[in-house]
Amino acid sequence: MKAQYVWNKGQLDQIDPNQVDYLLGLFSYSHMDFEADRDPGATGDPSLADMTRSALSILLKNPKGFFLVVEGGRIDHAHHYNNAYRALDETLAMETALLAALALVNPTETLIVVTSDHSHVLTMGGQATPRGHPILGPDSKVSDVDGQPYTTLLYGNGPGYATPRIIPMNTTSAAEDRNQVHGSAVPRQWATHGGEDVPVYALGPLATTLFTGTFDQSYIPHAIAYSACLGEHRLRCQGLDNYTGAPLVPHSGNCAQQEITSVAHSGQPIVIASSVMSDDGLLRVKSSSDAVVLEMFELTVVVTIVGVIGAVIT
Ligand SMILES: [Zn+2]
């Protein structure tokens, strides 16, 4: 058994998963840089996808399975700043991490849950924003009240409030694009979270029965605990009632005998990345316009990957 500690990308890249059983990576004194500001060199920070691959390369060695949480935690911070660019960019980093995970796990025995612990006060609106319209840019038409342009993405509250209101300008540099603050309706130094139910996307055992749809977020950890036989459901995979220890009575009548999975019959995973929505047939390039649906939500906790699932299919 061997443990290792790393603190930059170069060290993480050199880890041999066959030689390491426990790995601790601490890359920053506080929050790591936004992806847009990250130093990708050997002395800089690993990406979320880099960390996901490293974690899985070690966890996959465990014959008993594993539980991994990957959090795109800075989507949240960018929304708090009303900085839509970084919020969308962090969401794409999350998507890249998800694709990295999908390439490494077997979806017939590993449950992948993509979700969020809350939303944000972001809106996506406009009178003339046809498909392909820049998601970070202004509506094609100006306001019919003050005759001034406004951005497609706006916030309910936060530092983007100003009087007179923020008017989107033609930016002249990439840095200006990245740092653009979108308008908000109510002044706050730090935008609040939103309160609606969160979307849950899942693949693998129990995905379609427990996770597909929108839910109050407090439901999600209980469903994951049930799926992986953890905590209050720890005896379920042994066929025992968790509270009494008595053998579980099999379902009868009209109940389905086998739990449904969302894995295609061919055994291939159903691709759930936004790249499947690309209609130009090109490989996805990293742009800020891809994740139009997902960006309204913080999408933290985003890849919750649960192993151990072989015994869960009853
Ligand atoms: Zn927050």
Taking only the tens place, the pLDDT of each residue in 128-150 is 888 888 999 999 999 999 999 99
The pLDDT assigned to 235 comes to: 86
Q: In whole angstroms, give the CA distance from residue 1 to residue 63.
A: 15
In degrees and rounded to multiples of 5, residue 16 shows phi and psi of -95, 110
Q: How far is the CA of 77 from the centre of ligand 1 (A)?
A: 6
Peptide bond into 164 cis (omega under 30): yes
| Dist. CA 117 → ligand 1 center (Å) | 10
**Tokens coding 23:** 């790995």
Q: How far is the CA of 84 from the centre of ligand 1 (A)?
A: 14
Residue 291 predicted with pLDDT over 60: no
Q: How far does the centroid of ligand 1 lie from the alpha carbon of residue 93, in Å?
A: 18
Distance 228 CA to ligand 1 centre (A): 28
Mean pLDDT of 59-85: 94
Cα of 237 from ligand 1 centre, angstroms: 35
Residue 108, pLDDT above cutoff 60: yes
**How confident is the model at residue 50, as a pLDDT?**
98
Q: Share the mean pLDDT of the chain.
A: 81
Residue with structure tokens 């800089």?
44
Beta-carbon neighbours within 5 Å of ion ligand 1:
76
Q: What is the mean pLDDT of residues 51-56?
A: 97
Q: How far is the CA of 168 from the centre of ligand 1 (A)?
A: 25
Q: Is 80 annotated as a binding residue?
A: yes
pLDDT of residue 257: 43
Does 120 show up as a binding residue in the annotation?
Answer: no
**Dist. CA 198 → ligand 1 center (Å):** 14
C-alpha 247 – ligand 1 centre gap (Å): 43
pLDDT above 60 for 270: no
How much is the average pLDDT of 13-19?
96
**pLDDT digit string (tens) for 175-228?**
888 999 999 999 999 999 999 999 999 999 889 889 889 999 999 999 998 888
Question: What's the pLDDT score for residue 263?
Answer: 53
Predicted confidence band of residue 312 (pLDDT cuts 50, 70, 90)? very low
**Ligand 1 mean position, distance from CA 189 (Å):** 13
Q: How far is the CA of 88 from the centre of ligand 1 (A)?
A: 15
Residue 57 has pLDDT above 70, yes or no: yes
Q: Is the pLDDT of residue 9 over 50?
A: yes
113 alpha carbon – ligand 1 mean position (Å): 20
Mean pLDDT of 83-110: 95
| 117 annotated as belonging to a binding site for a ligand | yes
pLDDT band at 250 (very low <50, low <70, confident <90, very high): low
Centroid of ligand 1 to alpha carbon of 85 (angstroms): 16
User: What pLDDT is stored for residue 254 in this prediction?
Assistant: 52
Neighbour-count burial for 42-71, b at 16+ CB within 10 Å, e otherwise: eeebbbbbbbbbbbbbbbbeeeebbebebb
Q: Tell me how far apart the alpha carbons of residues 117 and 172 are, in angstroms, rounded to a whole number.
A: 36
What is residue 263's DSSP assignment?
S
Determine the distance separating the centroid of ligand 1 and the alpha carbon of 264, expressed in angstroms: 36
| pLDDT-derived band at 241, boundaries 50, 70, 90 | confident
15: Cα separation from own chain's centroid = 25
Query: Would you say 97 and 48 are in contact if contact means Cβ atoms under 8 Å apart?
Result: yes
Reduced to 3 DSSP states, what percent helix, strand and coil does the chain have, rounded to the nearest 5? Answer: 25, 15, 55
Q: Is 71 annotated as a binding residue?
A: yes
DSSP character string of 36-63:
GG---STTSPPPHHHHHHHHHHHHTT-T
Ligand 1 mean position to 76 CA, how many Å? 5
Specify the higher pLDDT residue, 64 or 261: 64
On the question of pLDDT at 6 being above 70, the answer is: yes
